[in-house]
Amino acid sequence: MGLLERLRKEWFILGIVLVIAVARLEPAVGVKGGPLKPEITITYIAVSAIFFNSGLSLKTEELTSALMHVKLHLFVQIFTLVFFPTAIWLFLQLLSITPINEWLLKGLQTVGCMPPPVSSAVILTKAVGGNEAAAIFNSAFGSFLGIVITPLLLLLFLGSSSSVPFTSIFSQLFMTVVVPLVIGQIVRRYIKDWLERKKPPFGTISSCVLLMIIYTTFCDTFANPNIDLDKFSLIIVVFIIFSVQMSFMFLTFLFSTRNNSTFTPADTVAIIFCSTHKSLTLGIPMLKIVFASYEHLSLISVPLLIYHPAQILLGSLLVPTIKSWMVSRQKAQKLTRQPKAPVKV
């Protein structure tokens, strides 16, 4: 249960950060011009540090065994980057006639455009005993795709400020995401043995940097005296987020276990988590780049900040149930494949 404890700990720490931010304790620390200087430390240094750390920790050799499972990869990536954002967009057309805060609704759309995470989907898949290699591959591959596809989806569904040129979005993403990731992989080749021997706390490092990004984002949100965030909209959005996650997890389960499906129970576990989880690590920095001059950037970020702990909490609660289903399904398949004993006359 160590993996689940790690997820719950991350969720608990994130909750503390949210409480501090909402309570407006020293909000100026995390806003532009404050002691943390987030316009520099967050926009450039923190984001680059996360992806350099990911490049160092990502074991590319573990992905080779899952590389040829093309059907599974197509399912996960199409569901995550095509079906998910399109379904959310259609759903939001109905919600647009409600009194829910329009910027929170736009934030829900940004959630749909995000790629799968590198951490939580893999950890939960491993906790259940599913196809961990497929989860690792799709999380990593989805993150690479997200660097290009997610900004395109955000611009397609939400547009961008005229003061943020399209080329500058990708150049900044390239310099703060792709370059540190590649450098991390190159450095890893030379110190691989040392990394395997010492096992640095990559997860803790990324979590700490990510918490700093989350904290400054919430400071930006709640330090604004003109923020228009009513409790009704926030409660409804939280309910929608949990409902969307449950619905999409059920959909992926149905699609991957239908009669003509070639997916194994272990594959289904990886599909459920990788297709429905969204990356906060890539998402928040990307929102800060794409919507850099949006007045309501902080409100747009709120649904993604809620979605992240929600997917960890919901996933960890469902682990025993999914594991029980997978084990029973594997036993049933094993029995059906055993040759029947000849009948004695």
Give 136-175 pLDDT, tens digit per residue. 788 778 877 887 888 888 888 876 544 445 566 667 667 7
Residue ranges of the chain with per-residue pLDDT less than 70: 1-44, 47, 50-51, 54, 58-67, 118-119, 159-170, 172-173, 177, 202-203, 206-207, 210-229, 292-293, 337-345
Residue 90 lies in a domain: yes
Residue 333 lies in a domain: no
Dihedral angle, C-alpha 213, 48, 170, 187, nearest 10 °: -150
pLDDT of 145: 83
Residue 193 lies in a domain: yes
Residue 171 lies in a domain: yes
Residue 337 lies in a domain: no
Any idea what the CATH number is for the domain that residue 75 is in?
1.20.1530.20
**Integer angstrom CA distances of residue 43 from 36, 93, 103, 286, 297:** 12, 32, 22, 10, 14
Range of the domain at 117: 9-327
Residue 343 lies in a domain: no
Helix orientation angle between 297-337 and 102-113, rounded to the nearest 10 degrees: 40
Residue 141 lies in a domain: yes
Measuring CA to CA, which residue among 300, 142, 317 is closest to residue 246?
317
Measuring CA to CA, which residue among 155, 109, 97, 139 is closest to residue 290?
155
How many domains does one find in the chain? 1
Residue 55 lies in a domain: yes
